Structure 1
Amino acid sequence: MSYVDIVKSLRKGTISPIYLLSGTEDYLIEDTVHRIVAAGLSEGEREFNLSKYDMKEYSVETAIEEAYTFPFMGGRRIVIIKDAFFYSTAKEKSNIEHDIKKLEGYLENPAPETVFVIVASYEKLDERKKIVKLAKKNGVFLDGSPLEEKELHIWVTERVKEHGVEMDVNAIDQLITLTGAQLMMMASELAKLAVYVGDGGKITINHVNSLVSRSLDQNIFSLVDGVVKRNIAKSWAIYLDLLKQKEEPLKIISLMVRQFRILYQVKQLAQQGYSQKQMAGQLKLHPYVVKLASGQASGFQDEELLDLLDQLAEMDYKIKTGQIDKFLAVELFFSKRSKVG
């Protein structure tokens, strides 16, 4: 079930006895846990009927015993197990021994008064395991992988509705771009924008451009975009602004190297026939980041990207060995790009 479908289901008061939440998008998982708790228990009930267990510190049997315990004052109990590493393909060591057979038994016959939430924040689950199959069969499964562009639009639209405001489609696009599709940052910025326009108001692209904070990654993306389009004045202005924000030149150079390396890798994978989704998985990047990088990469030849990486590596070496001042080095790099343009 998608995140949006789970949210809709919880709003209707439909709560599953079992939830299995996996994936690497931590904000999606944390927000889903928060919504399950909010839908299942009142503030006053949480002190007595909400339990959380880290599977690297407690045995799963402890959580199961709690799940079978009748809720205080009737009603419902929610038990959350975190770091459920035994659900994943990852090999993690733990001093705690877990009785997986007992977990299988619980998943086959969950307590009717309890909501059992399994948090396994890993890229892949071990689909061969019975506990994975049982949790999916008898409960609700959330794939908390990074959202693709269409899903991001749906996520923002749902958030906007919750804030009681509206938002233009192009404003949504700009919000995603400026925040680098980071959900936590997007949620924070949406809350700020909603307060600004007021109940029933409409968020426009002008509001986004005026009020949304740019992430460092987005600033680096824009800086590199200036290099791509030979708009060195734009890149230089962004660089100076980053210096005003107390960012170190060496850090900026390092992030530029990372971005140019991503462009080169995306370009190579595209030539091999990889889709953007496959590239995202291969490079461990957000799908939206890959989409933007694909657009940037088209502005370069392979040799040009490799030359830029060599220039930045040489600049980094000269700065660290004291052969050139760090501020002058970056200035010379942009000056050289300006002449190339």
Structure 2
Amino acid sequence: MDDVKQIVKDIKSGTIKPIYFLMGEEPYYIDAISDYIQNNVLAEEEKGFNQMVLYGRDVSIDDIVGNAKRYPMMAERQVVIVKEAQDLSRTIEKLASYAENPQPTTVLVVNYKYKKIDKRKALYKTLKKSGVVFESKKLYENQVADWIRRVLSGQNYAISPKAAQMLVEFLGTDLSKINNELEKLKIILPEGTQINADHIEENIGISKDFNNFELRKAIGERNTEKAFRIINYFADNPKDNPMVVTISLLFNFFSQLLHYHGLHDKNPRSVASALRINPYFVNEYVAAARNFPMRKVSIVISTLREFDVKGKGVNSNAIPQGDLLKELLVRIFNA
């Protein structure tokens, strides 16, 4: 995120490089930088003749170089944006010859999503000298809630830990999807608002009471009534609550609980750091550790592995996922 801010800051100050090669697993930042260049480097009246968008599936490296070597018309520079450039992965190294001597009046933006070029080869080394190489790395799930908080903080909003966790559990690590939902909330809610679970439920449609976050908490507290209520809701709404997601999240929770049992320092701050969780959630692990000693945690993890396979149709005899989840819950509470 700091690299993105620096790139934007440099462009605003007039320090514009002839090539921006944007690559990596996380498309959100690639799109953010590319869109910023597309919207801000040229004035509106200059874009008609001097801004071009190409698509990797439709062009060759020679086509890109040919367009990049053109001179701008009645403007200081032109912008050439290549989207979906990963479709040119077999020939992308041919761009190295252009990168050695790029056209100074062209801003070439290459969006190379979900992949990255070989840093040992000529293209990468040449790009580092003549332009900007930005690698957009995928965030781990335990980093996404902090990302949500940082983004909202910069826009004069806040969010409760539970609300952030609900977004992560419902939308995963797809930053573009999360950002789209945050944009919707910002249209509805005034600046300075702390977004809470009610806002998420009312405006995005994620139940604040029937979700994996609440299921995990209920299991940790050994609240069987609440846990089965949530599982029944999941059984009635299988498309919105796929079993594979539930098992994955429970597996992560019990794996962290096993880690918690092994910690020598159980100070809340140390626990939050070791488990890479928000301090707000530490008490959940403390409560769950009392109800699930290390031996039981090991049994639960083994059970989750078994049901993960069953949920994918192996040795389950086409049992409905709702019934499998209910059986899983019984096994967990009897561990």
Q: Same fold by TM (over 0.5)?
A: yes
Question: Would you say how many aligned residue pairs link Structure 1 and Structure 2?
Answer: 303
Map 1:324-335 onto structure 2 (within 5 A). Answer: 327-335=322-330
Partner AA of 1:205 in structure 2: N
Partner AA of 2:228 in structure 1: W
Partner AA of 2:193 in structure 1: K
Distance 1:336 1:11, change over 3 A: same
* Superposition deviation, residue 77 in structure 1: 1.4
- Counterpart of 2:242 (choices 252, 266, 270) is 252
Q: C-alpha distance in 1, partners of 2:67/2:314? A: 61
Distance 1:246 1:37, change over 3 A: same
Aligned to 1:287: none
Aligned to 1:238: 230
Q: C-alpha distance in 2, partners of 1:132/1:173? A: 40
Map 1:301-340 onto structure 2 (within 5 A). Answer: 301-311=297-307, 313=309, 320-321=316-317, 327-338=322-333, 340=334
1:35 maps onto 2:36 in alignment: yes
Distance 1:225 1:212, change over 3 A: farther
Partner AA of 1:213 in structure 2: I
Shifted more, 19-28 versus 261-270: the winner is 261-270
* Superposition deviation, residue 17 in structure 1: 1.8
Map 1:195-206 onto structure 2 (within 5 A). Answer: 195-198=187-190, 200-205=191-196
Q: C-alpha distance in 1, partners of 2:260/2:131? A: 39
SS of the residue corresponding to residue 73 of structure 2 reads coil
Partner AA of 1:258 in structure 2: S
Are the counterparts in 2 of residues 67 and 111 from structure 1 also a CA contact under 8 Å? yes
1:106 maps onto 2:98 in alignment: yes
Partner AA of 1:60 in structure 2: I
The Cα offsets for residues 59-90 of structure 1, whole Å up to 9 and x where unpaired, read as 21211111111223324311123444599xxx
- Counterpart of 1:139 (choices 101, 106, 131) is 131
Q: C-alpha distance in 1, partners of 2:87/2:238? A: 43
Q: C-alpha distance in 2, partners of 1:271/1:50? A: 58
* Superposition deviation, residue 26 in structure 1: 0.9
Q: C-alpha distance in 2, partners of 1:13/1:246? A: 52
Map 1:71-82 onto structure 2 (within 5 A). Answer: 71-82=72-83
Partner AA of 2:112 in structure 1: A
Aligned to 1:22: 23
SS of the residue corresponding to residue 2 of structure 1 reads helix
Q: C-alpha distance in 2, partners of 1:333/1:154? A: 37
Ranges in structure 1 where 5+ consecutive residues have no aligned partner: 161-165, 273-289
Q: Equivalent pairs: percent with the same residue?
A: 22
Q: Report the TM-score, using the length of structure 2 for normalisation.
A: 0.70
Map 1:90-239 onto structure 2 (within 5 A). Answer: 100=94, 103-147=95-139, 148=143, 153-158=149-154, 160=155, 166-168=156-158, 171=159, 173-180=161-168, 181-198=173-190, 200-205=191-196, 208-211=199-202, 213=204, 219-239=211-231
Q: Report the TM-score, using the length of structure 1 for normalisation.
A: 0.69
Distance 1:303 1:201, change over 3 A: closer
SS of the residue corresponding to residue 103 of structure 2 reads coil
Q: C-alpha distance in 1, partners of 2:71/2:201? A: 52
